[in-house]
Amino acid sequence: MAAIFAASTAILLAALAFQYIGGYQPCILCYYQRVPYAVILAGGFIYACAYLWSRCVLQGDGWDDKADLEARRVITMLFIPAAIVFLIGAGLAAYHVGVEWKWWLGPDVCAMPGQSTPDDLNALFNQIMNTPIVHCDEVQWSLFGISMAGYNVLMSLGLAAFSLIAFYRSRKNG
């Protein structure tokens, strides 16, 4: 599970680095593609807290091999939801790739990132003038002809496969 959380963290940090260090402004579909990784991290954090809490509470009251085996079974069962989340992420990224290649139209909100609407007309005008317009069908960065959304498809599918293989192996090993 640690590898899945590490990979999700690295992918989110890379996206943020492209945005805040590299200056590549994400479109709305780019933001949507970050959600599965955030879900994995949030779920992992909640599980880690629950596991550590149970270890601390039960350690004095007889944490034994049976309890450890039960904890491993719970970890094993988390691989399936992780795989599903990564497959959803791959679907979002594949949809974005299709928009980039103009196989289909993107959502109507693709030209304007989600922001709150100011109450003042001057503030609204300034917000509109200072907000970079990022279209979902324009590739801002690519490597070997593959966009970030394309790499996200590959990474999400790879992590889904890794999760399923880890589930199978952990079930097989007991």
Residue 5 structure tokens: 């959380």
CA distances from residue 173 to 67, 103, 107, 162 in whole angstroms, order as listed: 17, 44, 45, 16
* pLDDT at res. 74: 72
pLDDT per 10-residue tile (average), the chain, 174 residues: 89 94 90 95 84 68 63 78 96 93 81 61 74 76 87 97 90 69
Q: How far apart are CA 87 and CA 65, in angstroms?
A: 34
Token look-up 């492209």 returns 18
* pLDDT at res. 67: 64
Domains of the chain: 2-172 (1.20.1550.10)
Buried b / exposed e across 106-129, counting CB within 10 Å, b at 16+?
beeebeebeeeeeeeeeeeeeeee
Burial class of residue 52 (count of CB atoms within 10 Å of its CB; 0-12, 13-18, 19+): exposed
* pLDDT at res. 92: 96
* pLDDT at res. 68: 66
Q: Rg of the Cα trace of the chain?
A: 21
* pLDDT at res. 20: 92
* pLDDT at res. 91: 96
Threshold 0.85, pTM exceeds: no
Q: How far apart are CA 170 and CA 164, in angstroms?
A: 10
